[in-house]
């Protein structure tokens, strides 16, 4: 409780001495990836791969300067983050014939490539200390996922349970996870 009161007192004193407010614009490129444990085959080799994809961020910055050294900075950003996911290895495909014959499972090889893009509204809030040309900042960031999409393709080739070859085929993948 004492810590909260002390913090509020310091913030109140600093806010009474506020000197200036400035604003700005921020835009740039982002290079991100999605990472996680990879699926492995029986020999222990990775079947999945996670690579970088590019996106962008754009938004507004507000800076409230209290002293020559200390200021508070808040931003409101739209940003894209994501990655490129690939899978290459053993798999299966369930075929459900439309002529009424029973469904069957074909074993084979699958290659999947997906480019995943997640869109966020980010709100970073930081305390900033400036020492000449050197700037030190610390704070927190809130992020709200507003859209999530993925696009790519799946390639499959394999054999039926009777040993017949199944002609390779490609399926276009287009996901909008919020629909």
Centre a 10 Å sphere on the Cβ of residue 153 and count the other Cβ atoms it contains: 13
pLDDT digits (tens, 9 = 90+) for 80-95: 999 999 999 999 999 9
Is the per-residue pLDDT at 19 higher than 80?
no
Structural contact between residues 18 and 64, judged by C-beta atoms closer than 8 angstroms: yes
Q: Residue 3: which pLDDT band, with cuts at 50, 70 and 90?
A: low
Whether the per-residue pLDDT at 139 is higher than 70: the answer is yes
Predicted TM-score of the model (pTM) = 0.74
Does position 61 have pLDDT exceeding 90, yes or no? yes
Tell me, what's the pLDDT at 17? 53
Q: Which residues lie below 8 Å from residue 152, measured CB to CB, with a gap of 6+?
A: 85, 112, 113, 114, 115, 173
pLDDT at 7 over 80: no
Q: By percentage, how much of the chain surpasses pLDDT 90?
A: 66
* Degrees to nearest 5, angle at CA 92 with 88 and 95: 135
pLDDT of residue 2: 53
């Amino acid at each position: 409780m004492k810590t909260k009161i002390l913090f509020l007192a310091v913030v109140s004193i600093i806010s009474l001495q506020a000197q200036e407010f400035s604003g700005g614009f921020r835009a740039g490129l982002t290079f991100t990836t999605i990472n996680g444990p990879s699926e492995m085959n029986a020999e222990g080799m990775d079947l999945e791969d996670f690579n970088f994809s590019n996106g962008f961020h754009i938004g507004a910055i507000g800076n409230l300067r209290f002293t020559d050294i200390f200021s508070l900075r808040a931003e409101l950003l739209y940003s894209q983050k994501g990655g490129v996911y690939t899978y290459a290895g053993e798999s299966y495909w369930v075929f459900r014939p439309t002529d009424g014959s029973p469904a069957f499972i074909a074993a084979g090889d699958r290659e999947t490539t997906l480019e995943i893009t997640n869109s966020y509204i980010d709100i970073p809030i930081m305390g900033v200390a400036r020492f000449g040309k050197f700037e030190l900042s610390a704070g927190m960031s809130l992020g709200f996922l507003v859209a999530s999409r993925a696009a790519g393709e799946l390639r499959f080739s394999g054999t039926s349970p009777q040993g017949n070859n199944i002609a390779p085929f490609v399926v276009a993948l287009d996901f909008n996870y919020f629909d």
